[in-house]
Amino acid sequence: MPAPKFSCQEQENRILQAAAACIEASSLLDFTMSGISKAAGLSMGSIYKHIQSKEDVLVALGYHYQVHFMAVVKQIFALPLPAVARIPAVQLMDHSLVSPFGFAPQLETLLGNEAILKRASAGWLEKFITIDIAVEDLFREEVLRACRDGELQVDQAQQEAIAHELVTSMWSICVGHTQVQMQRNARHLLDQEVQPSGRLESDSVIVRSMTRMMNTYPWTTPLTETLLASTCRLLEEHGLR
């Protein structure tokens, strides 16, 4: 019996690369499993060993995006920035430079829908939720590190609560901004002249909102326009903007 052409991991990688290409060529709703099979050069039997449904495709891609995103966030958190600037720096990076595919914001929105997640297989669902929690914990630990280092002056008894509050607030601002951005950009469907948004500038509305929110907390170093501008330059130096 001949050896398999690709290893199990190689097959999975080919399937997900093919899935991303099929979605880019059509949409998150219109791609087909047969199209993925053809693009991956694998039989439908091989596809279904890894991916059981279209929902599995979305969740698997979401998982791999989160793995990639987490690695980039760790890179940003390692930059020589004061703690108050490290979390906003994640929003200031050019996501198109670091995202493995162009439909990541739309995919994230879909994967916030419990009805879609419930139709995914248990294996992929567990992977996705586990990495999602890990990403949130990464931000929470960054806030707690700022507390331990004295950059965020919070009583020890309040540190966990403040970390949860700050991360939830920043997360809400960023997710809300993404949703508003997508809705505004969709207006071209009615021939409304809406310019697509590029990377965030340090003086943009959403960054000003983040700055106001961050500065309500007792940081030793406040978030200023000058600090945001230097953060942008540092991200550019590291190919993240």
pLDDT band at 188 (very low <50, low <70, confident <90, very high): confident
181 pLDDT band (50/70/90 cuts)?
confident
Q: What is the DSSP letter of 219?
A: B
Residue whose entry in the numeric block shows the structure tokens 């987490």: 70
**Number of domains observed in the structure of the chain:** 2
What pLDDT sits at residue 179?
82
Residues 111 and 206 in one domain: yes
Residues 105 and 64 in one domain: yes
DSSP states of 27-67 as a string?
-TTT--HHHHHHHHT--HHHHHHH--SHHHHHHHHHHHHHH
Amino acid occupying residue 11? Q
pLDDT (mean) for 196-215: 84
Same domain, 39 and 60: no
Nearest to 217 by CA among 157, 149, 146, 148: 146
Burial of residue 70 (number of CB atoms within 10 Å: 0-12, 13-18, 19+): middle
Give me the mean pLDDT over the 101-124 stretch: 93
**Which residues, in sequence order, are CB contacts of 42 under 8 Å at separation 6+?**
6, 11, 14, 15
Tell me which residue range forms the domain holding 67: 53-237
pLDDT at site 198: 57
Q: pLDDT at position 1, please?
A: 39
- At residue 179, the 3 state secondary structure works out as helix
Q: What is the mean pLDDT of the segment spanning 74-83?
A: 96
Report whether pLDDT(197) > 70.
Answer: no
123 & 155 share domain: yes
Same domain, 42 and 58: no
pLDDT in tens, 128-167: 999 999 999 999 999 999 999 999 999 999 999 999 999 9
Q: How far apart are CA 239 and CA 70, in angstroms?
A: 16
26 and 131 belong to one structural domain: no
Residue 196 confidence (pLDDT) above 60 = no
pLDDT of residue 4: 58
Query: Which tens digit of pLDDT belongs to each residue from 54-77?
Result: 999 999 999 999 999 999 999 999
Considering the domain architecture, whether residues 39 and 141 belong to the same structural domain is answered as no
Q: Are residues 44 and 65 in the same domain?
A: no
Bridge partners (DSSP) of residue 20 are none
Q: How far apart are CA 153 and CA 96, in angstroms?
A: 35
- Residue 178's SS3 state is helix
